[in-house]
Structure 1
Amino acid sequence: MSQPSAPRSPRATGSILAFTIIAGAVIGLFTHQPTIGLLIGAGVGTVISIAFWLKDRRG
């Protein structure tokens, strides 16, 4: 008899999103464009979070 596999828990990507936002703002400070850096960091973090979510959905 086969045993049911344990359900996989999804990854929490909030820390990745927060890190990319902060990193984008800091990099933006060095280029004198903190708002653009913040937006780029948010975009990169969102893309990474969605990629993890899609991978977790496939199981």
Structure 2
Amino acid sequence: MNRPSKPAPIAGGALLALSLILGAIIGVRYGQASLGFVIGLGVGTALVLLIALVDWLRARR
């Protein structure tokens, strides 16, 4: 008997890394590298949580 296959999980780590780098770069442009890094961390964390929620909902179907 074949078991129904579950969809492959979605990875969000690249979005977190990209948001950290972009946040720091934008922060340097405005003279606030640390603040840009922290804002990038917040945005990246929100994106990762959103992707994890979507992945969890997909797996429950």
TM-score (norm 2): 0.86
1:11 alignment partner AA: I
Gaps of at least 5 residues in structure 1 are: none
Output one character per residue of 1:9-47: Cα deviation in whole Å (capped at 9) or x when no partner.
111111110000000000000000000000000100000
Aligned to 1:15: 14
In the alignment, structure 1 residue 29 sits paired with structure 2 residue 59: no
Aligned residues with identical type, % of pairs? 35
In structure 2, distance between residues paired with 1:29 and 1:13: 25
Aligned to 2:56: 57
1:44 alignment partner AA: V
Aligned residues: CA RMSD: 1.1
Instruction: For residue 24 of structure 1, give the secondary structure of its aligned residue in structure 2.
Output: helix
Cα shift at 1:5: 3.2
Aligned to 2:38: 39
- 4+ aligned runs moved over 4 Å, structure 1: none
Gaps of at least 5 residues in structure 2 are: none
